[in-house]
Amino acid sequence: MSSAICPCGSGNLLTGCCGRYHAGQAAPCAEALMRSRYSAYVLGLIDYLLDTTLPVQKSSLDRESISQWSAQSTWLGLEVEHAELLGGKPEHAFVTFTARWHDAAGEHSHRERSAFVQNQGRWYFIDPTVQLKAGRNDACPCGSELKFKKCCSAYMA
Q: Which residues bind Zn ion (CB under 5 A)?
A: 6, 8, 10, 17-18, 35, 140, 142, 144, 151-152
83 closest CA partner among 114, 52, 119? 114
Least CB distance to Zn ion at residue 17 (A): 3
Burial 39-49 (b: 16+ CB within 10 A, else e): bbbbbebbebb
In the complex with Zn ion, which residue's Cβ is closer, 46 or 144? 144
Q: In this complex, which beta carbon is closest to Zn ion, that of residue 24 or of residue 106?
A: 24
CB of 105 to Zn ion, least distance (A): 27
Q: Which residues contact 25 (CB under 8 A, 6 or more apart)?
A: none
- Nearest distance, CB of residue 110 and Zn ion, angstroms: 19
Q: Which is nearer to Zn ion, 63 or 150 (CB)?
A: 150
Report the distance separating Cα 19 and Cα 129, nearest Å: 27
